[in-house]
Every structure is written in C-alpha cells, then in structure tokens.
Amino acid sequence: MSATQSFYETPAPAHLKGIWAWLLTHDHKRLGLMYFWAIVVWLMLAMIFGMLLRTELMSAGRTIMGPEMYNSLFTLHGVIMIFLFVIPAIPAIFGNFFLPIQIGADDVFFPRLNLLSWYLFMIGGLFAIVALFTGEGFPDTGWTFYVPFSVSASSNVSLTVTAAFILGMSSMLTGLNFITTVHRMRDKTMGWLQIPLFTWSLYATAWVQLLATPIISITLFLVVIERVFSIGLFDPLKGGDPVLYQHLFWMYSHPAVYIMVLPGMGIISEVIAVFSRKAIFGYKGLVASSLAIAVTGSLVWAHHMYTSGMSDVAVFVFSLLTYLVAIPTAIKVFSWLATMYKGSIEMSPPLLYALLFIYLFSVGGLTGLVLGAVGPDIHTHDTHFVVGHFHFTMFGGTGFAFFAGLHYWWPKMFGIMYNMKRAYIAAILTTVGFIFHYIPMLILGLQGMPRRYYDYLPQFETGNFLAGFGGFLMIVGLALMFYNLFMSFKEKVAATDDPWGGTTLEWTIPTPPPLHNFVREPEVKSFPYDFTEVIAQSQKEKK
C-alpha cells in the first residue's frame, strides 16, 4: 500500500469491504461524504416543496393544492431545511472533512462517535419521514412546533418532534467531537492564533451546539410528554404558560441561527483571503467576532416574541442585545472587504459565491435590524417581511456559503474539477432568481401580507406572481449548479493538489487525501494566510 493512495481506495478499519467500508467507516472524510449525499437529497426535496408552495401562491385562490396540504408542505419545507440542511450542512460535510486536516490531525478525536452521529442523523431523517404517514394527515405545525397547536394536533407530531430531538443529539455530538479534536489533536506546532478561520468558526459553533441543543431537546421532550400525559405545563387551563414554551424554544433556536451561519462565515473568510492573494485583514478580529457572535447570539432569543406578551423592560433589553450582535457581524463584513482592498483578486466560482454571500447576507442582516427594533417589528411581525428576511440570511447567507465551500473544496474532496463557465452562469442565474424571489416578499410583508397564509387579497397578486417567477429562475440556476458539479464525475478533469493557491494545510496534501491525510509531517505556517510563496510561485510561472 503506497502512501499516496487516496482514502477512496483505503477502507478504515482496513478489513471492511464494499458498502461496509462506507457504512462502518471511522474515516472522517468518508463520513463527510456520506453526510454530503444525505444532505443533498434532503436539500433537493425541500427545494421542490418550496417551489410547490410558491407555485400555489402565484395566483390567488386554489392553484395546485388545498390549504391543509399547503400547511403540511410549509412545515415539511421548514423542518427539512432547518434540521436536515442548514444546521448540519457545513459542519457535518466540510467540518468533518476539513477540520482535522486544517489542524494537521489524521482524524477527529472520537471517530466511532462520529459514525454514531451520522447514524443518528439518518435515523432522525427516517423518523421525520415515518411521522408523515403514521398520523392523521401530515404534521402541519410549522417548524416551530408552537403549543398549544403542537400538543392538540392529530397528526403525528410526537414522532416529528422525536426526529428533531435525535437530529439535535447528532449535531451536539458532532460539536463535542470538534471541540475535543481542536483541543487535543491539533498539531503540536500550531498555536491558537495559527488555526485557520474555518476551523475557528467551527470551534465557536461547536460550543453553541453543545450549550444550546440540550435546551431544545428538553423542550421537544416536553412536547412529547404533554401529548402523552397532558400534564398541562404549557396549558393555561391547568396553570401552565404557553409563552414559556416560546422562551424555551427560542433559547435554542435563536443560537441555532448562529450555528447555521458561523461556519458559513468561516468558509467566506477562507475563500476571500485565498482569491485576494492577501493576508486576511484582522485575523484576530475575525476570531474574536466569531466568539462574540456565539456569546451575544445566545442572549437575544426573545426578539422573536415582541408580540407574544412580555414586559416592556424585557423587550427593551432584548432589542438592545439584538443590536449588539450586529457589531461583530459588521466586523466580519468589513474585514472581508478590507482583505480584498488592494489584493490581487482572481475571480473564480467560489469567490463569486462568496461575494454574492456578502451582498445577500448584508441585506439579510439589515432587514434583521428592522425586525430587531420593537416599533417596526410590531408592524412586520409574522408577515412575509420576516420570511424574506430569514431567507436572505439562511439561504443567501448559509446557502451561498455552502455553495462557495462546495466549489472551493470540490476538487480536494473528489479530485476532479468542474466546468468554470457553467458554474458562473449557474451562480448568476441563481442570484437573479433569488432577488426576484425574495425582494417581493419583503415588499409584500411591508404591505401587510401575513406569512403562512394559504390565500391573500387581490392587491398582493403581482408580488406573489413575481416571487413565484423568481423561484423558478432560482431553481433552474440551482439545477444547473448541481448538474455542473455532478457532470464533473463524468468529465473527470483531474484537479491538482492546490488548484486555487490556498495556504491552509488541506492544500499541502495529495488530492484526494490519503487515509491518514498527511504523507509527511504537516508544516504549520506561523500565520495561516501568508501568501508570499503563492505569489512568488505564480510570478515565476508567468516568466
């Protein structure tokens, strides 16, 4: 067995064969790829649901489905997108694959626990599917499972909630694994301030996963308890308080927003630095802002509840804290811009996605400030404005960061390069569709169209039609993007070890990586984003 054989050819543990080499593997890279395929399937499913929803809304009245189907579909779209795509996508795929490599390790600290996390993820997904067909109708509570409806609904909410519970467990164990890995497996010569920013962002995320997930676990557990025993902990008739449910739910689910977006920001930091051929601006600031987002992001949950009935003092405090999160986020955006300033920018699909991320995520962040302030929130609460806002952050943010990461690391993961031209066209199509899709929602929301409504007044028809049209355009763009990526398996254009001129450790090893990642001892740079060698190399090539 030569040292340069890729991990595709070397099963771990070594005695495994065929499909078992994947299903029982301890190798973080194989697990990353297994997550990849599972998550891509979920993403496509949820995308189709989303498209059906918007098709229904394209004209007033019944278009393609009835109101109950509509409620179930937006629940499914939300549950799948949140729990099976946005939360796990970047940590589970790229985190598993690249975190150990970026810190010079040969695997995560608990490889078997990592395998267990994958199985929990799959079981959670399976439960979510089984839940659809075992109750009276599909669950239609929305992804937030608000009481009292989630307790009284006749569909199989218990199983859906259990699915979310198991998925939470999977994400928590992944977080636990990453924290231990970063602490114990890091190359001896790599100090804390030599860790690449993607790994830093995963580390901050892992803490949020670990600290916030148990809260959702217990909350969902209580929903099941209420459904089975009807104790009445959230039932006003029996002395309970439904608003407490909302507190517990958002205590997790708001930090979860940062679980979703922090790893994405990590990807953007990598991509922007590499394609600007310039040391990242404010490395320490970026690290500190990741941690600051993780901390302050955990203290703002009640801004989802301004209209639920809270004291004015609480509303004021949560509004203030919400505004504080904007500071570290802005630090990140300005650092990225300052990195590009006077850099020698080289356009590439990952960079294009990163730039689109900055733009779309900024819109998402700024509309978030509208909602974070109490006055405008009372006006826009539960309207399409909110839908537009969080799609700008979740999809325009995390989604586009995921695509950037996909195009950035694709050659390293699979050893093949995709078609650049098609990648550009797909990115632009998706973005144009995106803007047509979500800007109308922001406007509709300001005009007063509520979210989650099956039907609407005639004056909202133009906006909804435009949104639907944009949705189709976006789907075409995304389809083209995946077509392009998957075609690379057929076209088989081999990728070099370092196609982009990256400086972090994953670009110093063979493509695709060998089983133990490093053929020789990793050389840790004193600063991870030192591009002098890359620039010198490219100048030599020009001569």
Partner 1 sequence: MEKTVDTTGVRIGMWLFLYSEVLLFGGLFVLYAAYFHRYPEFFVEGGKELDRVIGALNTVVLLVSSFTVAASITALQRNKKTQSISFLLFSIFCGFIFLVNKYFEWGAKFSHDIYPNSDTLTFGEPGLNIFFGLYYVITGLHGLHVIIGMTLLAVALWYVIRGKVNAERFGLLENAGLYWHLVDLIWIFVFPLFYLVL
Q: Which stretch binds partner 1 (CB under 8 A): 56-64, 91-99, 108-116, 303-311?
A: 108-116
Q: Which of 150, 177, 296, 511 binds partner 1 (CB under 8 A)?
A: 177
Q: Which of 116, 241, 446, 524 binds partner 1 (CB under 8 A)?
A: 241
Q: Which stretch binds partner 1 (CB under 8 A): 74-82, 213-221, 402-410, 466-474?
A: 213-221
Q: Which of 153, 164, 179, 300 binds partner 1 (CB under 8 A)?
A: 179
Closest CA relative to residue 79, chosen from 212, 209, 172, 216: 216
Query: Rounded to whole angstroms, how far apart are CA atoms 245 and 484?
Result: 44
Query: Rounded to whole angstroms, how far apart are CA atoms 18 and 182?
Result: 31
Q: Which of 46, 233, 286, 292 binds partner 1 (CB under 8 A)?
A: 233
3-state SS record for 23-80: HCCCCHHHHHHHHHHHHHHHHHHHHHHHHHHHHHHCCCCCCCCCHHHHHHHHHHHHHH
User: Binding string to partner 1 for residues 63 to 102, with x set by CB under 8 A, is what?
Assistant: ----------------------------------------
192 secondary structure, DSSP code:
G
The reply on whether position 10 binds partner 1 by CB under 8 A is no
The reply on whether position 225 binds partner 1 by CB under 8 A is yes
Query: Rounded to whole angstroms, how far apart are CA atoms 67 and 247?
Result: 29
Q: Which of 86, 120, 176, 467 binds partner 1 (CB under 8 A)?
A: 176
The reply on whether position 180 binds partner 1 by CB under 8 A is yes
Closest CA relative to residue 321, chosen from 274, 403, 255, 398: 255
CB 391 within 8 Å of CB 441: yes
Query: Rounded to whole angstroms, how far apart are CA atoms 513 and 150?
Result: 47
280 secondary structure, DSSP code:
P
The reply on whether position 447 binds partner 1 by CB under 8 A is no
Query: Rounded to whole angstroms, how far apart are CA atoms 449 and 68?
Result: 19
User: Binding string to partner 1 for residues 449 to 478, with x set by CB under 8 A, is what?
Assistant: ------------------------------
Query: Rounded to whole angstroms, how far apart are CA atoms 504 and 527?
Result: 10
Chain length of the chain: 543
Minimum CB–partner distance for residue 162 and partner 1 (Å): 15
The reply on whether position 247 binds partner 1 by CB under 8 A is yes
Q: Which stretch binds partner 1 (CB under 8 A): 33-41, 136-144, 236-244, 331-339?
A: 236-244
The residues with which 514 forms a beta bridge, in sequence order, are 6
Query: Rounded to whole angstroms, how far apart are CA atoms 139 and 31?
Result: 31
Query: Rounded to whole angstroms, how far apart are CA atoms 339 and 131?
Result: 48
Query: Rounded to whole angstroms, how far apart are CA atoms 301 and 293?
Result: 13
The reply on whether position 203 binds partner 1 by CB under 8 A is no
User: Binding string to partner 1 for residues 499 to 538, with x set by CB under 8 A, is what?
Assistant: -----------------x----------------------
Query: Rounded to whole angstroms, how far apart are CA atoms 98 and 398?
Result: 18
The most distant pair of C-alpha atoms in the chain lies apart, rounded to whole Å, by 81
Nearer to partner 1, 4 or 59 (CB): 4
Query: Rounded to whole angstroms, how far apart are CA atoms 404 and 175?
Result: 22
Q: Which stretch binds partner 1 (CB under 8 A): 69-77, 241-249, 356-364, 417-425?
A: 241-249
Helix, strand, or coil (residue 241): coil
Minimum CB–partner distance for residue 534 and partner 1 (Å): 31
Burial class from Cβ neighbours inside 10 Å (0-12, 13-18, 19+) for residue 16 reads middle
Minimum CB–partner distance for residue 383 and partner 1 (Å): 30
Minimum CB–partner distance for residue 81 and partner 1 (Å): 25
Q: According to DSSP H, which parts of 230-280 are helical? A: 242-276
Minimum CB–partner distance for residue 124 and partner 1 (Å): 17
CB 245 within 8 Å of CB 147: yes
The reply on whether position 256 binds partner 1 by CB under 8 A is no
Helix, strand, or coil (residue 451): coil
The reply on whether position 248 binds partner 1 by CB under 8 A is yes
Q: Which stretch binds partner 1 (CB under 8 A): 155-163, 234-242, 396-404, 444-452?
A: 234-242
Nearer to partner 1, 169 or 262 (CB): 169
Nearer to partner 1, 241 or 497 (CB): 241
Q: Which stretch binds partner 1 (CB under 8 A): 215-223, 340-348, 374-382, 497-505?
A: 215-223
Q: Which stretch binds partner 1 (CB under 8 A): 141-149, 211-219, 293-301, 324-332?
A: 211-219
Q: Which of 136, 229, 311, 342 binds partner 1 (CB under 8 A)?
A: 229
Minimum CB–partner distance for residue 318 and partner 1 (Å): 16
Closest CA relative to residue 109, chosen from 171, 173, 12, 182: 182
Q: Which of 5, 134, 230, 526 binds partner 1 (CB under 8 A)?
A: 230
The reply on whether position 165 binds partner 1 by CB under 8 A is no
The count of chain residues that interact with partner 1, using the rule CB under 8 A, is: 38
Minimum CB–partner distance for residue 371 and partner 1 (Å): 25
Q: Which stretch binds partner 1 (CB under 8 A): 33-41, 193-201, 246-254, 304-312?
A: 246-254
Q: How far is CA 272 from CA 22, 268, 351, 500, in A?
A: 33, 6, 6, 12
CB 340 within 8 Å of CB 272: yes
User: Binding string to partner 1 for residues 183 to 202, with x set by CB under 8 A, is what?
Assistant: xxx-----------------
The reply on whether position 222 binds partner 1 by CB under 8 A is yes
User: Does residue 510 have a cis bond before it (omega within 30 degrees)?
Assistant: no
Task: Give residues in contact with partner 1 (CB under 8 A).
Answer: 106, 109-110, 113, 172, 176-177, 179-180, 183-185, 210-211, 213-215, 217-219, 221-222, 225, 229-233, 237-241, 244, 247-248, 251, 516
